[in-house]
A and B are shown apart, each in its own frame.
Chain A
Amino acid sequence: MINSLVPLPIVVPLLAAALTIVFAKFRVVQQLIALASLASIVAVSVALLAQADDESVVIMDAGGWAAPLGVTYVVDRLSAIMLVTSSIMLLVVLVYAIGQRGSEATHPAFSPIYLVLAAGVSASFITGDMFNLFVAFEMMLAASYVLLTLGGRPDQVRSGMTYVVISLVASALFITALALLYSATGTVNMADLAERIPELSSGVRTGFSLLLILVFGIKAGLFPLFFWLPDSYPTAPGPVTAIFAGLLTKVGVYAIIRTQTLLFAPDSQQGTALLIIGGLTMLVGVLGALAQDDLKRLLSFHIIGQIGYMIFGLGLFTVAGVSAVVFYIVQTILVKTNLFLVAGLIDRHAGSSRLSRVGGLVRSAPVIAFCFAVPALSLAGLPPSSGFAGKFALISAGLDAEQWLIVSVALLVSLLTLYSMTKIWAAVFWGDPEVEPVQVEGRTGAGPSLMVAATMATVALSIAFVIFAGPIYELAERAGNDLTNPAVYIDAVLGADR
């Protein structure tokens, strides 16, 4: 057992962030350090996934203090899957950012902050302690505040305010929830909490369950707490939006999955509430998307729609449902990152991301058209895309649980998503712009080769995801089994011989 691998996804990016500050004057050195550290995290995550799949849970007690006294780092199958996905995306988007010369992404502060964000995301997935989860969230969010407003432009400052204030309210609620949890149970260790929460009265448990859904729902962008998301994401620089869209909301979803499956016994799980929230989130997301003209905002609304699907799967609280969510979350991260990277390319190529101003890209930049087509089909869930596999798993889990209403909503939303994607396709790639497009000097072709290569890499990943859908689904199913049987996690953290 080499459990010393566990803290590396947090420690390495933080150390690298410190180093990149030292080398702030040498842009190339900075970029090399950032690339090397994120690449090593990918390797570590893959090793952790292999180990977690072998032993089901890998534990590391920070500072040698055993649970529940110390902070425990826990990597189970779900954490490991999320780690691998997020670290690959972080690396790909960094390559894209380096390729995008002359933007905020080349600011000397970009690399260190990006690495802190990476550390925060990894820490959220690894930690087994509620308070440590709060710290991880804050690390991630503080980095995201800076990345969002790095340019200091008026629109960034305006939308940054909404984002920062909403996030701070969510953080205050999180601390409130922690304080109440601690006074009710006397612990903040997740495994220990899972043992003590069933001793509380059912009303208190329901209260905690809803409070935690509220706290993480703000970060995940659930209905009716999503308003901040489409306002703030599109104003960030392209690669930053891509990583926010791909990862940040999914960290919220991960926290909902983790707390709802681990801490609350089936009798206090908010299945019906989550199904209703999930259904409304899907509908509002896709309807909001239909009204938009700006590509990035349109895609931001689709993020919300996709979150609805995950909450729907979780709300079923069956092995099939939870497994489908684990599977779905990975494919959404790939697809969403991909779409936003393409949106960045379109913005750069055509000088605007408005549907009414861009047109005919299928002739002027067929590479961009190809990079868009693959994830767009995925988002709509057409076979043989990765989105089809994910939606198929979710809907068959819904049918097994006989939740007809939510299944029909999910299918309707898929149809509307397809409509929205064809609308983009018709406007951006086929049609001529309604308004004379702004011609940007010297920007012909698809874009700088690194940016295109990074986008192509995400396309390749999502195609590989379809080809290996079988083994990946089996892995997701094992993760789903673990999640619906929290005793495995609790025994691993607290020791089976308590």
Chain B
Amino acid sequence: MTVLLAFTAAMLFGLGTWLLLQRRLTRIVVGLGLIGHGTNILLLTSGGGGGRPPVIGKSDKSEFADPLPQALALTAIVITFGVTAFLLSMAYRSWQLTHDDVVADDLEDRMISRRRRDSDVADVEAADLERQSDSAGDDE
């Protein structure tokens, strides 16, 4: 059972990582969800093998499943749920603004690399380029 769960967790982590490396925010959200499930399975297995419900009086203490990882996993699930909701709302906002959810390169990064390439261009022209990219940034 533990081997199977470990395999499942590994699969979830692998798929999640692959999705996370994509540029589309919707895929990233799904990827993060999968990784979240992977970590939760890992948390559950960290308590050792299964057992009876840990309710005093229902069964013998030695047969109990470890309740702590379950509690931890529950907390983690709630947090992942909340943050995923936030990410989705951000993806929606991104779609509202650009009708696309591709994460663009950082504007300042692009500007600095452009400045480097144009280092032989006169300063005035470089400033001109900056202004252009500025207004481009405002439109985005």
Interface residues of A (CB under 8 A from B): 131, 134-135, 138, 142, 145-146, 149, 152, 154-155, 157-162, 164-165, 168-169, 171-172, 175-176, 178-180, 182-183, 188, 230-231, 234, 291-294, 297, 356, 434-435
Contact = CB atoms under 8 A, between A and B. Distances in A.
Interface string B72-91: 10011001001100110010
Interface string B118-140: 00000100010011000001001
6 contacts: A131-B75, A176-B39, A178-B43, A179-B42, A179-B46, A188-B68
Interface residues of B, number: 44
Given A131-B72, A175-B76, A182-B46, A158 B86 contact: no
Contacts of B72: 131, 178, 182, 188
A161 B94 contact: yes
B75 A135 contact: yes
B121 to A, nearest CB: 14
Interface of B: 20, 25, 28, 32, 35-36, 38-40, 42-43, 45-48, 68-69, 72, 75-76, 79, 82-83, 86-87, 90, 93-94, 97-98, 103-104, 106-109, 111-112, 123, 127, 130-131, 137, 140
Contacts of A231: 106, 108-109
Contacts of A155: 107, 137, 140
Contacts of A169: 20, 32, 35
Given A149-B90, A179-B46, A434 B127 contact: yes
B36 A172 contact: yes
A154 B98 contact: yes
A145 B140 contact: no
A435 B32 contact: no
A84 to B, nearest CB: 29
A293 B110 CA distance: 12
Contacts of A152: 93
Nearest to A230: B108
Sorted nearest first, the 5 A-B pairs with minimum C-beta distance are A183-B46, A175-B39, A179-B46, A179-B42, A182-B46
A142 B39 CA distance: 19
B32 A168 contact: yes
A292 B137 CA distance: 17
Contacts of B137: 155
Given A142-B83, A182-B47, A231-B109, A175 B42 contact: yes
B55 to A, nearest CB: 17
A160 B103 CA distance: 10
Q: Which of B46, B123, B130 has the most CB of A within 10 A?
A: B46
Given A178-B43, A180-B46, A157 B90 contact: yes
Given A169-B20, A179-B46, 17 more contacts: A135-B79, A138-B83, A142-B82, A154-B98, A157-B90, A159-B106, A161-B103, A164-B83, A165-B87, A171-B83, A175-B39, A175-B43, A179-B45, A231-B108, A292-B112, A293-B130, A297-B108
Nearest to A162: B103
Contacts of A146: 86
B102 to A, nearest CB: 10
A172 B39 contact: yes
Contacts of A158: 94, 103-104, 106, 140
Contacts of A180: 42, 46
Contacts of B123: 434
B107 A165 contact: no
Contacts of A179: 39, 42-43, 45-46, 69
A165 B20 contact: yes
